[in-house]
Amino acid sequence: MKVLVSTFAAICVFVSAPARTADVAACIACHNDKMVANPILDGQHAKYIEKQLHDLKKDLRVHAQMQGIAKTLDDNEIVDISKAFASKKWANPNPKSNPAIHEEGKNLVRKGNCTRCHGSELEGTYNIPRLAGQRSQYLKTTLLQYKNKERNNFPPMSSMLNRYSEEEIGVMAEYIAGLGYQE
């Protein structure tokens, strides 16, 4: 497993900066439309991706595979990779929200005042992640990690999510995943 992670990390950073955009294709091995447990990075805000990679590199965020990869990247590579993903079009592989949970999800998002930081359409800002259209499975896992303090690189999320049950977090994740759906 260690060899696999090291090999993958080497592939991700093998080429020079001008070709780095093409090299991001190696990262897409895990960040693609088939890997539903992993986040969509195409079109995500560059500063947010940078922060996550730096946090992984400094062990402020825990994810065994990504920590190993992030530790192989220098600051310029992190910036280049982040910009390459940010320059791509956001892809929303999710269906519309299930109508049965749409209103409940909307009310839970409103209750949590998620739009205060993530924007009125949950589109994010330059350093706050876009949530609208992100994968529901990834969102649910991430929100539960924050709630349970397993992911602690942004403490306000943990305290905000304490008011929700696991079921409510699942409803929120499904609702958010369906936002911004394009026919």
pLDDT in tens, 19-45: 455 467 779 889 887 888 899 999 999
What are the domain boundaries of the chain? 2-86, 99-177
- Residue 115 makes CB contacts below 8 A (sequence gap 6+) with 109, 121, 122
pLDDT in tens, 147-181: 999 998 999 999 999 999 999 999 999 999 999 76
Residues 101/168, Cβ–Cβ less than 8 Å: no
Q: Which residue, chain included where needed, has tokens 């079921």?
A: 167
Please give the CATH number for the structural domain made up of 2-86.
Answer: 1.10.760.10
**Cα–Cα dist 118/181, whole Å:** 17
Q: Do domains 2-86 and 99-177 have the same CATH topology?
A: yes
Choose the CATH number for 99-177 among 1.10.760.10, 3.40.630.30, 1.10.357.10, 3.40.50.300: 1.10.760.10
pTM summary value:
0.84
